Amino acid sequence: MDGLTLDFRTNRGRVKALRDISFPVRRGRILGIVGESGSGKSTVLWSILGLLAGNAEITSGRIDFGENDLLRMDAEAQRAVRGEQISVVFQDPMTSQIPVLPYARQMSDILYRRSMSGADKRRAAIDMLRRVGIPDPERRVDAYPHEFSGGMRQRAGIAMSMLTGPNLLLADEPTTALDVTMEAQMIGLMRGLRDDFDTTIVVVSHNLGLIAEMCDDVVVMYAGEVVETGEVHDIFHNARHPYTRALLECDPARIEDVSRKLPVIPGDIPDLTKPLSGCIFADRCQRAKPECATIAPPLVARGTGVARCHLLEGPLADASWPPPASV
Ligand code: SF4
Ligand code: MG
């Protein structure tokens, strides 16, 4: 993803929802995008899927997938890539599964591009249901979604999304509807699938515990910008941006507790219909200096990623920042 910039046209004016979003997605790894609601993290995901609302307008940037820029492929090629090589796990399986069709039928429909017999499609569906931990899949493949528990439906949703052997799996808050035990199982399942199928996974969440447990790489978004990126251990032990540090602050159990949600930081995300200047986080930053409100900080390379803060570079650089990790 390189320089993605996107506005939503609304009756309040243009909302500058994503501004110059760039980060690499490394093959065979799990990337987590974390941020508060309104950070633009889901919009990034929907851009990759080509499922943006009609009032969205991408004004610049590229989304490279293999040799191609997804934003500049013709419609037929996009459909083929998005149907076969990129797939998605939704937050609520009830919205993505068809209640009136048994899984056998829904799953063979997903394989409609393949020249396979009906029996082979059924076999593929059963194998994938077994792989995601559905007991007795030979029988359960004929079940309807309402006959499954929430956790089983989410597993079936993952089976459906893995059926075509995608290179890239996208997941938007995949465990929101689940309890902590099932969430931990789901994290194990998705990591296992990544290992078995060499699928790259991008997961969006406001749940720091999920990101810490599941991901290899992390992108921290705030109000439509990338503020920090890095490998997971670097982000959780050595965060450099004041926003990331505020998210992680005072919680020695933060990595173990998968139920932990983003803490509340005083203040609100700025109004993205207004002209923006300076650091986007300045209103809420405890370290802000007057210049932060007028001069936008650049992204600078730090550790295993990048961070966007004046304390790290330039005339406002502060040698005592970031303080050492507290754990
Ligand atoms: Fe805070 Fe200034 Fe850094 Fe922005 S640039 S995060 S306001 S210290
Ligand atoms: Mg969202």
Tell me: the pLDDT tens digits for 225-278?
Answer: 999 999 999 999 999 999 999 888 744 445 455 455 566 788 888 999 999 999
Give the pLDDT score at 314.
85
- Taken as a whole, the chain contains a residue count of 327
* ipTM for this model: 0.96
- Helix 150-162 with 118-131: angle, nearest 10 deg: 130
Give the pLDDT score at 233.
95
Q: Copy the structure tokens of residue 228.
A: 């920090």
Angle at 156 between CA 152 and CA 161, to 5 degrees: 150
Q: Which residues pair with 31 in a beta bridge?
A: 202, 217
206 three-state secondary structure = coil
Ligand 2 centre from 227 Cα, in Å? 18
Mutate to test the pocket of ligand 1, among 241, 310, 313, 316 (most ligand atoms within 8 A of CB): 310
Atom of ligand 1 nearest to the CA of 312: 3
Alpha-carbon gap, residue 311 to 309, rounded angstroms: 5
CA 151 centroid distance within chain: 20
> Which residue, among 3, 42, 28, 35, has the nearest Cα to 228 in the 3D structure?
35
Average confidence (pLDDT) over 164-172: 95
Give the pLDDT score at 250.
44
pLDDT band at 108; cut points 50, 70, 90? very high
**Lowest mean per-residue pLDDT among 156-160, 163-167, 231-235, 253-257:** 253-257
Output 174 or 29, whichever has higher pLDDT.
29
Report whether CATH 3.40.50.300 matches the domain 2-85+166-312.
yes
Q: Give the ligand with the smallest distance to the CA of 174.
A: 2
Give the pLDDT score at 103.
97
Q: Give the ligand with the smallest distance to the CA of 314.
A: 1
For ligand 1, is residue 245 a contact (CB within 6 Å)?
A: no
Give the pLDDT score at 261.
59
Q: What are phi and psi of 179, to 5 degrees?
A: -80, 175
- Amino acid occupying residue 204: V
Alpha-carbon gap, residue 222 to 303, rounded angstroms: 20
For ligand 1, is residue 299 a contact (CB within 6 Å)?
A: no
